[in-house]
């Protein structure tokens, strides 16, 4: 990626301007504020690099973007396999499958040999199955790339799910469950999802000892067999590698893998409701975690870019947002506070605002969160706030082109989800042009303050205000 | 001044002609792991060190400003002051973040006066004048409210955010303090103006509100985290004298009671250009960048260097053990005293750490996690910091139904095995490759590159000490690992801590019967 000449010239002009300023005016005469008011910025132009793409006969799509700054290569494999497709009563199946692809050995290599090999080439090598997709990540020195790609291919194509390693991973997942209530932050994140989505949806399904009891090693074998196929696979390379080398490596490692038809179960519809409700989880702790929110849009929603602007104002920006201002800057009530729209592609997302505060200010903070979200819903953003958010998002667009791996990953996502080619660029045009009226109408559509769910995790003995005082029905939940 | 426009451009030309020809910038190149790390260095007249890495991949820049001061430099009664100052340097200056500085200055002074009066009154042990305290406190609260009307402590962050900043943040360690941000490349001068203003004319406004946020940070990052709480208490036990024994964030009672004037004293003592490193990685011209930094930071006055930490940790005279009660599943943390970077044994200890714990094939993973004794385990060679002799630490989460004692035995078995049998040639080679590759990887982005070189320059005196240390690891032999294991992994110099679930207090004499 190279810069255009206009910027180079601009830098030289700027340097002269400084020298002039300082030569004739004592530095103390101008304040920093005055100095920055005098600045003008040359427009930045980015030469956008297009990754190389091709499709193998068996359907694997390969994307490559060269970056020879360091002698390293990133390889990301995405497979259409996720916990969205696991049976509802076997929560943990997809996750365990994802882990054991890497750790369970292969048909030709014992797992200790795979571990040994991966460490000997100093690779970062992991596999996973998440909610919407699964795959593998590899970061390796270019001199040891071939060995790395072979390890990845072997893991994805011929995993052994060795019973000994399976038992270890299963026991570790059970230990994680045992530890899942050790801190209020952990409890808050998990239980908030459950509260919004309802426990049945994969987006809020967490492994339990009961769900693990219903999983066998053979279920992992079957899950892999069903969903891992070259025609449902995308591979992205970034770094010290040419498209030709990438193609040759993939041919060698994956070329003889035959395509097959994969059928997917229906993605479960999110069945959460919009009945206002407050849940309190008692936990002895110095700090309470307070979250409020509701189910919301997908990443492909027409309002997505507008809500990114709105959320920047409400609680998305660390420096300028209303929640940071009211809770942290003005009142000193929280180190961590903010809001977000979490927006997946294949199922409904969520909106949440949160804060962590000492037990004694739990009620005060909850009051502010409720008030700020309602105020945003009713009155929207001001013209000045919109300008700050607009500038922040528009000016940071250059960072989208800083990292080769991110660039190539975006292209994979576009292909994986079947999105329009301008999917990642389009929001910037919205940030640039959005007017206040349009934005505030969208806010009124997308913030649903009469259906808020509230979660408080903390020690009731310390609370400044009884939770019942907020007028929501309060349900008390006890964790095991 | 308008009439001097001709003279102006004449002076400007001279200024441009003087400094920073291409030769003037010293280029430092380190070849490691197949990568070449190239850094341009310039030390300004006032002692400010500028380090620049060019990367023209995209029109972006990563900035890191590091000061050679961290919590290890603090003194009794003000623990956490380094970190509090770090927070306060986001609150603006005499021109950024104020509506009327002259008026605000007066209020800020008065706020501090009243604060000190309140504290003086509160320190009276008997017959304290509670009425006077209440009256002063009321006045103090009113002054603080009035000051808020004249200021906006968010302006500094807002300006950067509006200009497209990413990753605006800062961090404090035991050894150093660093301020980071990434900006579009056409904002270089904006950053230079704001950053030079920030360290020369800071106003620690909204101080007593921010201190409450720091206390929330402590609750979140220490008290709500059993692992972090165990770490805080274990290091406190491991060090009898050295300040590495006090956690960076400080004790709550000292955070709560610190005064703004104490933080300002600390700032004046430790923040100076000769204590400061600026590292820039990205789409810049090194010569022009140095010229720009000199133009804005040139007036920043050098100071006598602060006193170095003189305390040396006395030899530990026997094993120390502690328990931390916490309603969480059990964890263990073990620590052995060891020398730091620069000592000839540190490279062998680093290699030992990698053989014990780096990747699924390492000894801890294979022999402890895979055996189902621990759910997770990790070893570290650089806690709490690296400026002074430090600790080799091993922490683990116990896997049920095993106990902390089982995990401790398993860890000690592996530590002993390092003493009794040489590590294999394959293990040695693997560790060395991992250490080198991890270092190359750490230059993966502008931000990380800038942090690497600024931070390591601040902590180790020169960023090249790290790659030199890594190249020294190349020379480590199996005998070296065995020798350092015997020397440092001893019972006498170790500290062992467990978290345990709280139990009902009973008379201990009733439990055993006899003594």
Q: Is the pLDDT of residue A54 over 90?
A: yes
How many CB atoms neighbour CB A143 within 10 A? 12
CB A335 within 8 A of CB B213: yes
Q: Based on the domain organization, do B88 and B147 belong to the same domain?
A: yes
pLDDT band for B511, please (50, 70, 90 cuts): low
Q: Do residue B329 and residue A182 have CB atoms under 8 angstroms apart? A: yes
Give chain B positions within 8 Å (CB) of A27.
296, 299
**pLDDT tens, A422-431?**
999 999 999 9
Q: Is the pLDDT of residue A19 over 50?
A: no
Instruction: Show Cβ contacts of residue B344 under 8 Å, excluding neighbours closer than 6 positions.
Output: none
Average pLDDT of A1-29?
38
B168 vs A16, more confident: B168
Average pLDDT of B245-265?
97
List the structure tokens of A84. Answer: 């969205």
This model of the complex carries an ipTM of 0.91
Last residue of one domain, picked from the residues B297, B329, B360: B297
Q: Mean of the per-residue pLDDT values for chain A?
A: 92
The three-state secondary structure class of B494 is: strand
Containing domain of residue A243, as a range? 52-254
Residue A293 located in a structural domain: yes
Report pLDDT for B292.
97
pLDDT band for B14, please (50, 70, 90 cuts): very low
A209 in contact with chain B, both atoms CB, cutoff 8 A: no
Q: Based on the domain organization, do A145 and A190 belong to the same domain?
A: yes
The enclosing domain of B206 has a CATH number of 3.30.830.10
Report pLDDT for A17.
37
**pLDDT tens, A192-235?**
999 999 878 889 999 999 999 999 999 999 999 999 999 999 99
Question: Among residues of chain A, what percentage have pLDDT more than 90?
Answer: 88
Give chain B positions within 8 Å (CB) of A34.
95
Q: Do residue A398 and residue B444 have CB atoms under 8 angstroms apart? A: no
Q: Do residue A41 and residue B165 have CB atoms under 8 angstroms apart? A: no
pLDDT band for A366, please (50, 70, 90 cuts): very high
Q: Do residue A318 and residue B157 have CB atoms under 8 angstroms apart? A: yes
Residue of B nearest to A112 (CA): B361
pLDDT band for A47, please (50, 70, 90 cuts): confident
Report pLDDT for B508.
63
Give chain B positions within 8 Å (CB) of A172.
369, 375, 399
Q: Is the pLDDT of residue B158 over 70?
A: yes
Q: Is the pLDDT of residue B221 over 80?
A: yes
Residue of A nearest to B157 (CA): A319
Residue A46 located in a structural domain: no
Containing domain of residue B89, as a range? 64-297
Q: Based on the domain organization, do A33 and A68 belong to the same domain?
A: no
Q: Do residue B59 and residue A46 have CB atoms under 8 angstroms apart? A: yes
pLDDT band for A14, please (50, 70, 90 cuts): very low
Q: Based on the domain organization, do B201 and B148 belong to the same domain?
A: yes
Q: Based on the domain organization, do A297 and A357 belong to the same domain?
A: yes
Q: Do residue B209 and residue A120 have CB atoms under 8 angstroms apart? A: no
The enclosing domain of A291 has a CATH number of 3.30.830.10
Average pLDDT of A283-289?
94
Burial class (CB in 10 A: 0-12, 13-18, 19+), A186: middle
The three-state secondary structure class of A351 is: strand
Q: Based on the domain organization, do B252 and B377 belong to the same domain?
A: no
Nearest to A272 by CA among A341, A207, A203, A211: A203
Residue B348 located in a structural domain: yes
Average pLDDT of A97-105?
98
Give A 273-302 residues with CB within 8 A of chain B: 284-287
Give A 344-403 residues with CB within 8 A of chain B: 356-358, 388, 391-392, 394-399, 401-403
Q: Mean of the per-residue pLDDT values for chain B?
A: 93
Give chain B positions within 8 Å (CB) of A46.
58-59
Q: Do residue B201 and residue A32 have CB atoms under 8 angstroms apart? A: yes
Average pLDDT of B283-305?
95
Report pLDDT for B107.
97
What CA–CA distances, in Å, run from B106 to A31, A194, B57, B152?
Answer: 19, 52, 49, 16
Report pLDDT for A28.
54
Total number of domains in chain B: 2
Last residue of one domain, picked from the residues B282, B297, B312: B297
Total number of domains in chain A: 3
Q: Do residue A399 and residue B154 have CB atoms under 8 angstroms apart? A: no
Q: Based on the domain organization, do A22 and A90 belong to the same domain?
A: no
pLDDT band for A16, please (50, 70, 90 cuts): very low
Residue A266 located in a structural domain: no
Q: Is the pLDDT of residue A11 over 90?
A: no
Average pLDDT of B5-25?
44
**pLDDT tens, A125-157?**
999 999 999 999 999 999 999 999 999 999 999
Q: Is the pLDDT of residue B505 over 80?
A: no
Question: Nearest by CB to A35, which of B166, B186, B193?
Answer: B193
Q: Based on the domain organization, do A64 and A88 belong to the same domain?
A: yes
Residue A264 located in a structural domain: no
pLDDT band for B23, please (50, 70, 90 cuts): low
A458 in contact with chain B, both atoms CB, cutoff 8 A: no
Q: Is the pLDDT of residue B439 over 80?
A: yes
Average pLDDT of A366-379?
98
Report pLDDT for A396.
96
Report pLDDT for A48.
87
Question: Nearest by CB to B166, which of A183, A185, A399?
Answer: A399
Instruction: Show Cβ contacts of residue B448 under 8 Å, excluding neighbours closer than 6 positions.
Output: B62, B442
Report pLDDT for A271.
81
Size of interface A-B (CB pairs under 8 A): 277
Q: Based on the domain organization, do B364 and B222 belong to the same domain?
A: no
**pLDDT tens, A383-410?**
999 999 999 999 999 999 999 999 999 9
Last residue of one domain, picked from the residues B265, B297, B329: B297
CB B143 within 8 A of CB B116: no
Q: Do residue B216 and residue A69 have CB atoms under 8 angstroms apart? A: no
Q: Based on the domain organization, do A283 and A377 belong to the same domain?
A: yes
Q: Is the pLDDT of residue A97 over 60?
A: yes
Residue A348 located in a structural domain: yes
Beta strand segments in B274-417, E: 276-282, 320-325, 331-338, 374-383, 390-398
């Amino acid at each position: 990626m190279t810069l255009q000449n206009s910027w180079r010239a601009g830098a030289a002009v700027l340097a002269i301007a400084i020298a002039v300023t300082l030569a004739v005016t004592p530095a103390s005469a101008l304040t920093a504020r005055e100095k920055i008011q005098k600045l003008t910025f040359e427009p930045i132009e980015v030469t956008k690099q297009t990754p190389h793409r091709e499709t193998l006969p068996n359907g694997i799509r390969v994307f490559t973007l060269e970056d020879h700054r360091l002698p390293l290569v990133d390889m990301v494999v995405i497979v259409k396999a996720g916990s969205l497709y696991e049976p509802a009563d076997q929560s943990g199946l997809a996750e365990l499958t994802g882990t054991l692809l890497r750790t369970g050995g292969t048909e030709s290599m014992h797992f200790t040999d795979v571990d040994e090999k991966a460490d000997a080439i100093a690779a970062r090598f992991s596999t996973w199955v998440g909610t919407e997709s699964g795959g593998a990540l590899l970061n390796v020195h270019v001199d040891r790339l071939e060995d790395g790609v072979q390890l990845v291919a072997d893991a994805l194509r011929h995993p052994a799910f060795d019973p000994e390693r399976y038992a270890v991973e299963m026991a570790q997942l059970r230990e994680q469950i045992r530890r899942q209530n050790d801190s209020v932050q952990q409890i808050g994140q998990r239980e908030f999802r459950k509260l919004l989505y309802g426990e049945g949806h994969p987006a809020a399904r967490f492994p339990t000892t009961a769900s693990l009891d219903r999983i066998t090693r053979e279920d992992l074998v079957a899950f892999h067999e069903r969903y891992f196929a070259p025609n449902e696979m995308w591979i992205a390379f970034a770094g010290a590698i040419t498209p030709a080398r990438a193609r040759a490596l993939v041919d060698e490692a994956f070329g003889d893998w035959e395509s097959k038809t994969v059928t997917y179960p229906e993605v479960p519809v999110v069945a959460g409701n919009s009945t206002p409700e407050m849940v309190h989880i008692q936990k002895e702790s110095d700090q309470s975690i307070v979250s409020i929110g509701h189910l919301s849009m997908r990443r492909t929603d027409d309002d997505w870019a507008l809500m990114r602007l709105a959320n920047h104002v409400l609680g998305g920006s660390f420096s300028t947002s209303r929640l940071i201002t009211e809770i942290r800057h003005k009142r000193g009530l929280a180190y961590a506070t903010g809001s977000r729209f979490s927006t997946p592609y294949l199922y409904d997302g969520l909106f949440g605002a949160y804060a962590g505060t000492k037990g004694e200010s739990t009620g005060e903070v909850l009051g502010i969160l409720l008030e700020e979200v309602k105020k945003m819903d009713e009155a929207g953003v001001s013209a000045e706030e919109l300008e700050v958010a607009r500038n922040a998002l528009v000016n940071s667009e250059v960072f989208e082109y800083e990292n080769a791996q991110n660039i190539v990953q975006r292209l994979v996502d576009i292909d994986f989800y079947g999105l329009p080619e301008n999917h990642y660029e389009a929001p910037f045009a919205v940030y640039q042009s959005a007017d206040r009226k349009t934005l505030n109408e969208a806010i009124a559509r997308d913030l649903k303050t009469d259906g808020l769910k509230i979660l408080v995790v903390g020690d009731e003995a310390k609370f400044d205000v009884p939770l019942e005082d907020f007028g929501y029905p309060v349900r008390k939940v006890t964790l095991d | 001044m308008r009439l001097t426009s001709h003279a102006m451009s004449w002076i400007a030309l001279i200024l441009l002609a003087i400094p920073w020809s291409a030769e003037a910038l010293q280029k430092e190149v380190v070849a490691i792991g197949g990568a070449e790390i190239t850094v341009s260095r310039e030390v300004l007249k006032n002692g400010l060190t500028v380090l620049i890495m060019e990367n023209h991949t995209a029109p972006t820049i990563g900035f890191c400003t590091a000061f050679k001061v961290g919590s290890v430099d603090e003194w009794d009664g003000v623990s956490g002051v380094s970190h509090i100052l770090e927070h306060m340097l986001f609150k603006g200056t005499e021109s950024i973040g104020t509506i009327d500085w002259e008026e605000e200055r007066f209020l800020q002074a008065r706020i501090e006066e009243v604060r000190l009066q309140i504290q003086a009154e509160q320190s009276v042990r008997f017959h304290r004048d509670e009425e006077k305290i209440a009256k002063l406190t009321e006045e103090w609260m009113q002054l603080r409210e009035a000051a808020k009307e004249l200021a906006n402590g968010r302006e500094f962050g807002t300006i950067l955010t509006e200009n497209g900043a990413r990753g605006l943040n800062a961090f404090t360690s035991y050894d150093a303090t660093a301020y980071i941000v990434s900006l579009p490349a056409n904002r270089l001068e904006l950053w230079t103006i704001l950053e030079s203003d920030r360290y020369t004319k800071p106003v620690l406004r909204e101080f007593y509100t921010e201190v409450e946020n720091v206390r929330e940070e402590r609750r979140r990052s220490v008290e709500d985290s059993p692992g972090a709480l165990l770490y805080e208490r274990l290091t406190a036990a491991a060090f009898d004298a050295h300040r590495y024994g006090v956690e960076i964030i400080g004790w709550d009672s000292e955070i709560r009671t610190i005064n703004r004037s104490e933080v300002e004293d600390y700032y004046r003592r430790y923040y100076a250009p000769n204590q400061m490193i600026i590292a820039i990685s990205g789409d810049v011209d090194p010569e022009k960048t140095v010229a720009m930094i000199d133009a804005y930071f040139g007036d920043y006055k050098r100071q006598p260097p602060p006193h170095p930490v003189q305390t040396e940790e006395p030899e530990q005279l026997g094993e120390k053990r502690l328990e931390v009660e916490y309603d969480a599943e059990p964890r263990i943390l073990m620590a052995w005293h060891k020398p730091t970077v620069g000592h000839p044994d540190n490279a062998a200890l680093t290699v030992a750490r990698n053989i014990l714990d780096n990747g699924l094939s390492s000894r801890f993973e294979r022999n402890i996690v895979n055996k189902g004794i621990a759910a997770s385990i990790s070893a570290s060679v650089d806690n709490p910091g690296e400026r002074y002799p430090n600790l080799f630490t091993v922490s683990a989460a116990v896997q049920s139904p095993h106990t902390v004692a089982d995990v401790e035995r398993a860890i000690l078995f592996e530590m002993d095995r390092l003493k009794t049998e040489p590590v294999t040639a394959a293990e040695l080679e693997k560790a060395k490759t991992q250490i080198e590759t991890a270092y190359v990887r750490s230059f993966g982005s502008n931000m990380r590159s800038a942090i690497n070189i600024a931070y390591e320059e601040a902590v180790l005196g020169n960023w090249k000490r790290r790659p030199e240390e890594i190249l020294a690891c190349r020379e480590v032999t199996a005998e070296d690992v065995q020798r350092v294991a015997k020397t440092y992994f001893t019972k006498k110099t170790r500290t062992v801590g467990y978290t345990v679930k709280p139990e009902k207090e009973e008379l201990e004499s009733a439990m055993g019967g006899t003594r």
